Amino acid sequence: MNQVPLRLYVNGERHDVTVEPRKTLADVLREDCGLTGTHLGCEHGVCGACTILADGQPIRACLMFAVQAEGMSLRTVEGLAPDDEELHPVQRAFWKHHGLQCGFCTPGFLMLAAGTLEEDPDRSDEELVDILSSNLCRCTGYQNILTATKAAAAEMRE
Amino acid sequence: MTDQAEPTTWVGRSLPRFEDPAILRGWGTYVADIAAHDHGCLYAVFVRSPLASGVLREVSAPAHVRMITAADLAEVHPIAPALTRPDYVTVETPILAHDVVRFVGEPVALVLGDTPAEAEDAAELVSVEIDPLPPVLDASAAVLPDSPLVHPADFPGDPNTVVDGRITTGGYDEVSRGAAHTVEIEVSCSRQSAMPMEARASHAAYDRGSGRVTLSTTTQMPHVVRTGIADCLGIPEDDLRVIAPDVGGGFGAKMALAREDVALVHTARRLRRNLAWVETREENFLASWHSREQRYRVTGSFTEAGELVALGADIVADVGAYSCYPVTYGVEPLMAMAELPGPYRVAEYAVRARAVLSNKCPIAPYRGVSRPVQTLAMERLMDVAALQLGIDRLELRELNLVRDYPHRGPSGLIIDESSHLEALARAAELMDVEEFRERQRAALAQGRYLGQGFSCFAERTGYGTPAFAARSMVITPGYEQVQLAFDPSGGLVLRIGASPHGQGLRTSLAQVVADELGVDPGVVRVVHSDTDQTPYGWGSFGSRAMVIAGGATRRAGADLRDKVTRIAADMMECDPADVELAEGRATVRGTDRSVSIPDITRRAFHSSHLLAEDDVPGLDTTAFYNPGGTFSNAVHAAEVEVEASSGHVRITRFLVVEDAGVLVNPQIVEGQVRGGIAQGIANALYEELIYDDAGNLVTTSLMDFLPPTMQEVPQIEIHHLHSHSDQTITGAKGVGEGGTIGAPGAVLNAVSDALSPLGVGFTHMPVTPAMVRTAIRSATETTHSSTTSGGTR
C-alpha cells in the first residue's frame, strides 16, 4: 500500500508523518504521533471514546482519515491541561466529582465537554444531556459525568 | 447522599482518587497503548469461524501469509476447567479450532503482519473450508434424545447437559402440596454482553536474555491467567509474567482465560518476537464472553396469609459451546441454585439447575452473574403472588423477608447481619406509595400509564474459598494476600493480589493503611496487577476486593503498626502501649516526645544492630484473609411511564436504599451503585445479543447492541444503611454488583404495574418497545387476559 507524507498540527506541535491514505486519524494519532490518550472503543463512530477537537469542534477520530485532517488544528486529551501542574477545569471537575472509573471513555468525554463548553459555557442542563449522550460510558452511570460537566461549566462561565 | 457524618478517620471519607490525574491527562497505559508504542512487534489477527457448527476441512492461505493454525499448536494442551461434581461434564477448548468448529467467531487461525493493517489484509486471504452441521441453538431442544451434540461427550443425563444440580429439602413435597396458594411464573433473559468500553487486547513481549514472556493483557485476574497459560504450554509459571495495566472495565467478561492469549504467548515464544492483538468491537461481541441466557420456572407455595412456605424452581442456562476458565460454565446455574431464595425466608426448597451446551459463544460471569435474573424471578413472583392472593405487594415482602440474623437459608447459605426490613420500610416511605397511586390514577384517566416497582435482594459478597469449594471447583479461588512494606525513607508500598480495573482500590486501600499507621494516604503506593510484583491472588471480581483485600490490608497494617510501635518505644525508651501513631509520627501519649516515621524506618533498615534481638531488619509484613462471605442488601424502586403508542419505557425516578456496612470511600461506593444500576437498566430494557436460525450473531455492533446513553439513565437517589457484621474485618460489605442485581426486578415490576390496567405483565428481559407493543396489542385484542399466569414475553 502506498504511503503519503502528511503534516498534522496536534496540541500546537507539528507532526510530519508518512502514512497510508486509508489510515484513520485515530490510528495515526496513536501509532504515528504517539498520542495514545485518544482511545478506540468501537471504530464505527458510536462510542465516542476517540473524540478529539478539530478546529475546536468535537469529532470522532475513528471516522476520519488522517489525510483529511491536514491543515486542521487538532487537540487531544494530552493537550487539554495548560501544563504538567495545572488541569483544565473539565479535568478538575471530573476528578472532584468522580466522573470516571476505568477511565477508558474519559478522554472522549473530556474532549466532548471541553469543546462544548469552550464554545459556549452557558448551556442548559437539557442541552448538556443531549450533547453528552453522544458518548458511551459503561462504569459511571453518567450521573457524575453530568455533575462534573455542569461544575466545569460554572467555573468556565466565571 | 451519604448519611454518615464526616469521620475522624481516613476510612469513611470521599477522598478523590489517586488513580485519576494520570488518566485525566491521557497518561493512562491500556494494553492497546503498549502495542501502539511498540513499533517492533508483530500484529496478530484471528481468523474466525463463519459457521456455528461444522467439520473443519482445511485452513489455507497463500505462501506469503504468516499463519498459525491448530497444527502449529500440537503440543499445547487444551483449556479444560473442571468441577468435581458427578453431574459436571468436562469439555476441552482447543486453543485454535481443529476438526470441528462450534460457534460463529471461534478462532481457527492466527495471522501475523508487520502492521495491524497488513495483518488484517493477510487474514482476508485465508480460506476456511467447513462442512456445515446442524447447529444446536435452543436449550429446550438440546436436551431431547435426538438432538445433535455440541461435543461428543459422555453425558450422564440428558444430551448436551453439562451441569445438572438439584437440591430438595425434606418437607418440600408435602408442604408445597398442602399450600393454600400456588403461584407459577416463567422468567427469562436474553443473552447479554458485559461490553466493557475497552475490548480485549494483549501484548506479549519476548525477552531474549531470559526467555521469559511478559504478557500485558486486559484481565481481572493476572495470577490466574498466568497459571492457565503456563499449564496449557507446560512451562513453569515463572517463565511468564502477566501484567494487567490500566484495564478499561471488565464486569466479569475479563475474568476468564482467553484462548487467544494462549496462542499469542506460545507464538511469541516460538518466534522469539513481540506480538500484539487488539480485539475489534465486532470480535468482542462474537467471541468474547456472553452471559445470562437463562430460563426459570418458579413455583411459590403460599399460606392463606401470604407466607412463602415452599419454593420450587427449574433453571436452565444456555452456556454456549465451551467452559470458561477458571469458574466453568457451572457458574450461572450453580449460583442460581444456591442463591435463588435471596432475602426471603423459605424453609422448603426444591430446585433443579442445568447448564446446557449450544453452538453459541461461551458464557462467563457478568456483573451479578445469575442474580439479576434470580432477583427478577423472585420479585416478579412477589408481585404476581400479591395480585393473586389479594395482599399488598410490600406487605407480602415484609411478611417474608429475613428478619433475624444470622439466617440460614434452605441451600445452607448464612445471611449475616443485614437490614432487609429497614431498607424496605425506608424505600416505601421515600417512594410514597399512596401519593404515587393517586398520580397513577390521575394519569390513567388521561390515558397515560405510570408504574412503580420494587425489588429486594441480598447480595452475597466477599466470599473466600469455602464458597468456591462448595461448587467443587478444581481450581478453588477465594483468599487474598497483601504485602505491606516501608522503604528506608518512610515510603509505604502495599502489594495486592487483587486486580482493580476502575474500582479505585489504590485510593480506598490506602485509606485503610493510613488509619492503621497514622500516615497520610497519599504516601501509600498500592501496587497491583503484576505477577512479578504482587503476591498470588485471585483478582477483582464478585464484589470481593474491598472485603477480602481490604481485610488483609487491615491485618497487614495492624501487624506493621505493632512493629513500628515496638521500635519507636525502644527509641524513646517507653512502653509500647504508650506509643500512638498519628500524622506520620510516633508520639509518647500525653507528651511532646516523638520520632518521625522516617526516623523509625532508617533505624529498621540502616541501624538494625540497634533493634531488639528478635527483630529482623526492615519493616514489612504479609497478611492473608479468607472470609466465609458477607451479604449486602438493598431495595431498588423505580417509577416509569410507558408510552402505549410506541412501547417506549421512560424511567422517571430511581431510588436505592442500600446497606454495604462501613463505606470506606462513600463516593466510590456510590459510583459502583450508580454504574451497576445503569447496567441493570440496560439489561432490563435495552441490551440483547440475538442469533439467527443458522447461529449467526446479528448484533455485532453498537448500532445493534444498545448500551444506554445519558438520555436513558435517570438520576439515581441513594440512601445508605449501615449494618455491623462480624463477617468482615473492615466492616465493609461488597458493593460491586448490587446495582445490576436489583434494577431489572424494579424496572419490570414498574412496567408491569403501569400496564396492569390492560392485564399485561412482563417476565422477560429486556422488555423492548416491540415486546411492550405486542403485549398491549394482544391484550386489547382479546377480552380474556390474565396477569397472574405471568408468562408473558
Query: What domains appear along chain A, each with residue ranges and CATH number?
Result: 4-79 (3.10.20.30), 89-157 (1.10.150.120)
Q: How far apart are CA B368 and CA B252, in angstroms?
A: 9
Q: For residue A129, is pLDDT > 80?
A: yes
Residues B677 and B666 in one domain: yes
Helix, strand, coil percentages in chain A from 3-state DSSP, rounded to 5: 40, 15, 45
Measuring CA to CA, which residue among B272, B632, B196 is closest to residue B456?
A: B632
Q: Write out the three cell numbers for A67.
A: 489525510
Measuring CA to CA, which residue among B220, B131, B149, B292 is closest to residue B740?
A: B292
Amino acid (one-letter) located at B492: L
Chain B positions touching A85 (Cβ under 8 A) are: none
Residue A7 · residue A16 · CB < 8 Å = yes
Complex confidence, ipTM: 0.98
Q: For residue B783, is pLDDT > 70?
A: no
Closest approach of B503 to chain A, Cα-based (Å):
6
Q: Domain for residue B418, yes or no?
A: yes
Contact (CB<8Å) A22/B702: no
Residues B670 and B616 in one domain: no
Closest approach of B506 to chain A, Cα-based (Å):
12
Dihedral pair phi/psi, residue A92, rounded to 5°: -60, -45
Contact (CB<8Å) A138/B707: yes
Which range among B130-134, B474-478, B730-734 shows the weakest confidence by mean pLDDT? B474-478
CB proximity B738 to A under 8 Å: no
Chain B positions touching A81 (Cβ under 8 A) are: 24-25
Chain A positions touching B636 (Cβ under 8 A) are: none
Residue B594, number of CB atoms within 10 A of its CB: 19
Closest approach of B710 to chain A, Cα-based (Å):
5
For A3-22, what is the mean pLDDT?
97
Residues B584 and B699 in one domain: no
**CA angle B403-B406-B407, nearest 5°?**
65
Any idea what the CATH number is for the domain that residue B262 is in?
Answer: 3.90.1170.50
CA dihedral angle for residue A70, residue A71, residue A77, residue A79, rounded to 10 degrees: 140
Chain A positions touching B248 (Cβ under 8 A) are: 39, 41, 102-105
Q: Domain for residue B215, yes or no?
A: yes
For B181-208, what is the mean pLDDT?
98
Structure confidence by residue, pLDDT tens digits, B37-76: 999 999 999 999 999 999 999 999 999 999 999 999 999 9
Residues B294 and B390 in one domain: yes
Residues B349 and B222 in one domain: no
Q: How far apart are CA B311 and CA B218, in angstroms?
A: 40
Residue B617 · residue B604 · CB < 8 Å = yes
Structure confidence by residue, pLDDT tens digits, B354-413: 999 999 999 999 999 999 999 999 999 999 999 999 999 999 999 999 999 999 999 999
Q: Write out the three cell numbers for A46.
A: 458510536
Chain A positions touching B26 (Cβ under 8 A) are: 35-38, 76-78, 80, 107
- A141 closest CB neighbour out of B17, B198, B675: B675
Q: Domain for residue B214, yes or no?
A: yes
Residues B564 and B664 in one domain: no
Closest approach of A73 to chain B, Cα-based (Å):
19
Using the 3D structure, point to which of B264, B287, B310 is the last residue of a domain. Answer: B287
* Residue of chain A with shortest Cα separation from B503: A101
- A46 closest CB neighbour out of B17, B676, B703: B703
Dihedral pair phi/psi, residue B668, rounded to 5°: -65, -40
Contact (CB<8Å) B711/A133: yes
Buried b (16+ CB within 10 A) or exposed e, B657-696: bbbbbbbbbbbbbbbbbbbbbbbbbbbbbbbbbebeeebb
Residue B325 · residue B79 · CB < 8 Å = yes
Q: Domain for residue B162, yes or no?
A: no
Residues B486 and B416 in one domain: no
Contact (CB<8Å) B20/A146: no
Q: How far apart are CA B313 and CA B121, in angstroms?
A: 51
Any idea what the CATH number is for the domain that residue B587 is in?
Answer: 3.30.365.10
Contact (CB<8Å) B26/A77: yes
Q: How far apart are CA B222 and CA B481, in angstroms?
A: 14
Number of domains making up chain B? 3
Using the 3D structure, point to which of B268, B287, B306 is the last residue of a domain. Answer: B287
Q: For residue B126, is pLDDT > 50?
A: yes
Chain B positions touching A141 (Cβ under 8 A) are: 671, 674-678, 713, 716, 739
Amino acid (one-letter) located at B511: Q
B314, with CB counted inside 10 A (0-12, 13-18, 19+), is middle
Q: For residue B2, is pLDDT > 50?
A: no
- B709 closest CB neighbour out of A44, A100, A133: A133
- DSSP state at residue B605: H
Q: How far apart are CA A95 and CA A148, in angstroms?
A: 8
Residues B698 and B776 in one domain: yes
Q: What contacts B472, CB < 8 A, 6 or more positions away?
A: B83, B84, B85, B88
- The pLDDT-based confidence of B789 (bands split at 50, 70, 90) is very low
DSSP string, B99-130: SEE-STT-EEEEEEESSHHHHHHHHHT-EEEE
Residue B110 C-beta-side C-alpha neighbours within 13 Å: 26
Chain A positions touching B676 (Cβ under 8 A) are: 141
* Residue of chain B with shortest Cα separation from A106: B24
SS3 B792: coil
Provide the pairing of β-strand B630-643 with B42-48: unpaired
- Bridge partners, residue B719, by sequence: B657
Q: How far apart are CA B303 and CA B628, in angstroms?
A: 34
Residues B113 and B125 in one domain: yes
**Whole-prediction pTM value?**
0.96
* Residue of chain A with shortest Cα separation from B40: A31
Chain A positions touching B501 (Cβ under 8 A) are: 102
Q: How far apart are CA B347 and CA B778, in angstroms?
A: 39
Range of the domain at B280: 24-133+197-249+254-287
Structure confidence by residue, pLDDT tens digits, B250-282: 999 999 999 999 999 999 999 999 999 999 999
Contact (CB<8Å) A101/B503: yes
Q: Domain for residue B341, yes or no?
A: yes
User: Mean pLDDT, chain A, as a whole number?
Assistant: 97
Measuring CA to CA, which residue among A131, A127, A151 is closest to residue A57?
A: A131
Amino acid (one-letter) located at B193: S
Q: Write out the three cell numbers for B31.
A: 494494553
Q: Domain for residue B84, yes or no?
A: yes
* Residue of chain B with shortest Cα separation from A84: B25
Residue B271 C-beta-side C-alpha neighbours within 13 Å: 21
Q: For residue B1, is pLDDT > 70?
A: no
Question: Which positions 657-686 of B are in contact with A (Cβ < 8 Å)?
Answer: 667-668, 670-671, 674-679
Structure confidence by residue, pLDDT tens digits, B307-353: 999 999 999 999 999 999 999 999 999 999 999 999 999 999 999 99
- The pLDDT-based confidence of B780 (bands split at 50, 70, 90) is confident
Contact (CB<8Å) B117/A132: no
Q: What contacts B256, CB < 8 A, 6 or more positions away?
A: B289, B324, B325, B326, B327, B364, B365
Q: Where do the DSSP E strands lie in B425-479?
A: 449-461
Q: For residue B4, is pLDDT > 60?
A: no
Residue B402 · residue B204 · CB < 8 Å = no
Q: Domain for residue B103, yes or no?
A: yes
Contact (CB<8Å) A100/B20: yes
Closest approach of B16 to chain A, Cα-based (Å):
6
Chain B positions touching A77 (Cβ under 8 A) are: 24-26
Q: For residue A79, is pLDDT > 60?
A: yes
Residues B427 and B485 in one domain: no
Q: Domain for residue B563, yes or no?
A: yes
Measuring CA to CA, which residue among B445, B364, B354, B410 is closest to residue B156?
A: B354
Contact (CB<8Å) A103/B19: yes
**CA angle B564-B570-B572, nearest 5°?**
100
- Bridge partners, residue A53, by sequence: A58, A75
User: Mean pLDDT, chain B, as a whole number?
Assistant: 96
Closest approach of A5 to chain B, Cα-based (Å):
18
Contact (CB<8Å) B23/A106: yes
Chain B positions touching A110 (Cβ under 8 A) are: 24
CB proximity B199 to A under 8 Å: yes
CB proximity B616 to A under 8 Å: no
pLDDT for B788 equals 42
Contact (CB<8Å) A102/B27: no
Contact (CB<8Å) B25/A34: no
pLDDT for B615 equals 83
Residues B330 and B397 in one domain: yes
Q: What contacts B600, CB < 8 A, 6 or more positions away?
A: B490, B564, B567, B568, B571, B586, B619
Contacts 24+ apart (CB under 8 A), B585-590: B585/B518, B586/B518
For B421-443, what is the mean pLDDT?
98
Distances (CA, A) of B246 to A40, B205, B250: 14, 17, 11
- The pLDDT-based confidence of B782 (bands split at 50, 70, 90) is low
Amino acid (one-letter) located at B553: T
Q: For residue A48, is pLDDT > 90?
A: yes
Residues B559 and B609 in one domain: yes
Question: Which positions 7-36 of B are in contact with A (Cβ < 8 Å)?
Answer: 14, 16-17, 19-21, 23-30, 32-33, 36
Q: Which helix (H) or strand (E) holds B781?
A: helix B769-781
Residue B28 · residue B106 · CB < 8 Å = no
* Residue of chain B with shortest Cα separation from A82: B25
Helix, strand, coil percentages in chain B from 3-state DSSP, rounded to 5: 30, 25, 45
